[in-house]
Structure 1
Amino acid sequence: MRFNKLDLNLLVALDALLVESSISRAAARVHLSQGAMSNALARLREHFGDELLVAVGRRMEATPRAQALAPMVRDLLVRIDATLQVQPLFDPTTTDRRFRIVASDYSMWVFVPQLLQHAAELGATACFEFLPQVGNATQALERGEADILIIPLRYVSPEHPAAPLFRDEFTCLMDRHHALAGQPLTREAYAAAGHVVMQPPGTPAAAIDASHLEQLGITRRVEVASYSFSSLPGLVAGTQRLATVQRRIARKACTHLPLVAVDPEFELPTVDQRLQWHRHRATDPGLLWLRETLAAAAQQMDSLAG
């Protein structure tokens, strides 16, 4: 099919080329031969009057024209995909649809089990695929690689709709035989202790707790760093270290590890988890059901926590 002399199939190839910056990887992405993708690139260069991708050493880089085209091409393809996927009715008890959800290890540990339990209670037959929250999660929406994001408020994009999911707050975990157990956890004692911390994978950005402590002027003596919040309880058990974690993680950890949760004498940050979805898929009946199910599961989780 052609539009203004452009074969619209070439837009799929262009999108793959701009995402992968490689002819071979782009070909594999859209299930074409490398020769067919090279031919598509040649036709695209002729149509736009631009090289689009140029070799720089062993890799290819997008030209300024290609960089300007990239978000517009992706947006157009997402619109087309959303239009084709929408069905007039959605029955969660008969569907074979696969929902792709970006979620952090924290959400996977404290919230996702409740979601799956609630979906089972509804008799849902949908498949749930969970993707790691790394780097810029919004790109997964815009590339059509994810249906829903479960992310902290600080990462919510203003370009797409979002809704509150659940809240949490931070506390401190320590071994029950820690020297500070049973004592007030002062600012000075907290700073002097050894700490196990989480560094978000795929980004140089600091975790929520680290950013907050920096604003308070508190510097931790980091002795162990991990890529996940859910791993921290196991890393402080049997040691004289502290871990600053979400209260929901602390509550679960204290049930099966010899740990105690202690609130320090200074304020720790809260966690505001949000749902976010692509603006072009706001009326998709399947995603409407998914959003409602996620919200209901979060309410159940809060009621069970008291």
Structure 2
Amino acid sequence: MADPDLNLLIALDALLAEGSVVKAARRLGLSESAMSRTLARLREVTGDPLLVRAGRGLVPTPRAIQLRERVPNLAEEVRAVLRPAEAIDIARLERSFTLRASESFIEVYAARLVGRVAAEAPGVLLRFAPRGNRDAQALRDGLIDLDIGVHSETTPELKVQSLLRDRLVAVVREGHPLTRLETVTPEQYAACSHVLTSRRGLVRDRMDEALAALGLARKVVAVVPSFPAALAIVRASDLTALVSERQVAAGVAGVRILPLPIALDEVVVTQMWHPRQDADPAHRWLRGVVLGACREAAVSPL
């Protein structure tokens, strides 16, 4: 059996409410002949005359009287489903969102983001999930609402928005031998022992490629999954690390930033979501809050 034409439900609602083909046609902005053809189709699909002539007017059949109690609510449900989403009252919104983000992003931006959300929508709960797994399937399955980070690979299926630009800087402990140098050469930098940050446990990154192009190699003695972990090790050792500039922009106790001896390209931090949430007013608001918090941090002291 073919799916019913929902336009017939809207037409039936008008016919039962007006009790007249002419008035129903006027209500829906149709011609009288078009409304008559629609009534004929309704009679065919329901198996009932619905409206029959009595004198100079039309009267409803018993089936029509029975339907008259149900059709208005059904027609309004159809209209509500098919019309664009209405604006929502963010201050009254009660909902939870899951954001997948790195530990460093959470450390730098979460407080500002949570503060903005609490001020605008006190009924909203934010859940932060680790970015150990970059699989986009979690977005497709609705397990996370936003994936925030450096997305080297994307798919046309997903929506992506740039949040900020960042770059890596070299850090060492206060008093490290490199801090006594006015400039650090690639050779001096490579001669140090290093702690590398990699969520996947890799022992090489872009810096190793840049050093290799100069015929140099560095010694990596530790691999950690996050910038905060790398900073903790650097602070208590003679190791050096590459961390996000925004991670240390406000200064970190016991740690010094050194000019990077080899220029590395900036990285772009983005937020990614599934298209099914693109038009959702609450999700659109959340994306705006995340973007605003990141841009505010970009121009304010951290």
Q: 2:191: which partner in 1? A: 192
Does the 8 Å contact 1:156/1:274 carry over to 2? no
1:142 partner letter: R
Q: 1:137 aligns with which of 102, 112, 135?
A: 135
Distance 1:188 1:178 in 2: 16
Q: Which amino acid is 1:264 matched to?
A: L
| Aligned equivalent of 2:275 | 279
Question: Does the C-alpha gap of structure 1 residues 158 and 204 become closer, same or farther in structure 2, counting only changes over 3 Å?
Answer: farther
Deviates more, 1:95-104 or 1:211-220: 211-220
TM-score (norm 1): 0.65
Instruction: Give the deviation of 1:215 after TM superposition.
Output: 4.6
Q: Distance in 2 between matches of 1:148 and 1:174?
A: 33
How many angstroms apart in 2 are the aligned matches of 1:211 and 1:296?
30
For structure 1, the residue ranges without an aligned partner over 5 or more in a row are 4-82
- Residues 118 and 124 in structure 2, CA contact (< 8 A), matched pair in contact too: no
Residue 302 of structure 1 is matched in structure 2 by 298
Is 1:236 aligned to 2:266, yes or no? Answer: no
What is the deviation of 1:238? Answer: 3.2
What residue is the counterpart of 1:213 in the other structure?
208
Q: Which residue type is aligned with residue 209 of structure 2?
A: E
Is the CA contact (8 Å cut-off) linking 1:149 and 1:277 kept in structure 2? yes
CA distance in 1, matches of 2:202, 2:224: 14
Query: C-alpha distance in 2, partners of 1:90/1:230?
Result: 38
1:166, distance to aligned residue in structure 2 (A): 1.1
Of the candidates 288, 297, 301, which is equivalent to residue 292 of structure 1? 288
One-letter code aligned to 1:223: V
Query: 1:90-133 CA distances to partner (integer Å, 9 max, x unpaired)?
Result: 32222220001110112111122221122233244200011111
Gap change, CA 1:156 and 1:114, over 3 Å in 2: farther
Alignment match of 1:121 (pick from 119, 122, 144):
119
> How far 1:248 sits from its partner (Å)?
1.3
Taking the TM superposition and a 5 Å limit, the aligned residue runs for 1:82-93 are 88-93=86-91
1:102–1:137 contact (8 Å) kept in structure 2: no
CA contact (8 A) 1:137 1:149 kept: no
SS in 1 for 2:221: strand
Structure 2 residue aligned with 1:74:
none
1:144-163 to structure 2, matched below 5 A, reads: 144-163=142-161
Quick check: 1:251 aligned with 2:249? yes
| RMSD across aligned positions (CA) | 2.5
In 1, the alpha carbon distance for the partners of 2:86 and 2:203 equals 43
Task: State how far apart, in whole Å, the 2-side matches of 1:281 and 1:230 are.
Answer: 32
What is the one-letter code of the residue matched to 2:248? A
Structure number with greater Rg is 2
Contact map agreement 1:195 1:223 (CA 8 A) in 2: yes
User: In 2, Cα distance between the equivalents of 1:148 and 1:158?
Assistant: 16
SS where residue 179 of structure 2 aligns?
Answer: coil
Q: Are 2:249 and 1:261 aligned?
A: no
Aligned length: 218
Q: In structure 1, what is the Cα distance between the partners aligned to 2:210 and 2:186?
A: 14
Alpha-carbon shift at residue 197 of structure 1 (Å): 1.2
Distance change (3 Å), C-alpha of 1:234 and 1:192? same
Distance 2:278 2:228 in 1: 32
The one-letter amino acid paired with 1:286 is A
| C-alpha contact (below 8 Å) 2:162/2:270 kept by paired residues | yes
